[in-house]
Structure 1
Amino acid sequence: MGCCRPPALASHGAEAAIIHDKHETLITHDDLQARVARLAGALKARGITKSGRVIIHMPMVPYALQAMLAFARLRAIHSVVVGGFAAAELAVRIDDCAPKAIIATSRGIEPSRGIRYKPLLDAAVDLASRKPDFCVIL
């Protein structure tokens, strides 16, 4: 009857994996794989492992997708909190998740203004009763 192995997947190497119009960014499959592997390796070195809980607090930027893929590679449980949440609401989500880590950006850009995320994150961690071990700020 033969082997039940799936056919080999074609490499998409130089093809676009992410096109982010807002900043005119194009990331190829090879670039994305390298970025995800690098981030996953750094997170693993900091103790993020299978079933570890983490929060992603970012706007809709390519880094958010890279973080999701890195956590998936590590088989970590990730919760995505859309960037810009007020500190009290973010603190509630931190307490619900009890994350080992939070990965975030320092700021975001809304159509009419910029939003500084880092002060919101700092205030939320101060308010939360279940503190993360560390935060990664991009």
Structure 2
Amino acid sequence: MPCIWASLSVAATKLKAINTDNEIANSLLFELQTAVHLAEAFDQIWASIYWNGSRKRTRVRVTVTLTKLAQSISDHITESLRLFNELCEQQEQLQTLDLTDEWIDIRFSLSRANSAFQETHYKLIQPLPLFEYLDNQKQ
């Protein structure tokens, strides 16, 4: 989670430095900041117990909390990517913001956070049985 937290923090810091009054950019900043705080909480909760020496009830309770946090982080990362793409589409039409290297850094940080999450924490989020069934039917 530290890699995810760092990537999201970089994206939020760069977007905040651009200081735009665009509504989509402000929504994106809110999503990024929320994801950063959730990732930080995930790390604090993960480090709050000694996993090998704790009772099973404690481990289960902490795992449930971590699963909920991971789902929230995933939702915010997905929404951030959607908002970034929406902002890019808007800028193709209106071109109200200056395109700078910060936008490339934001996009890279978002994609890095998403890929790191998919690699490391996606197993915490169990898809609904209906979605698994539909995925199996497509294959």
Q: Same fold (TM over 0.5)?
A: no
- The structure in which a higher percent of residues are strand is 1
More helix by share: 2
Higher relative contact order (CA 8 A, sep 6+): 2
TM-score (norm 1): 0.26
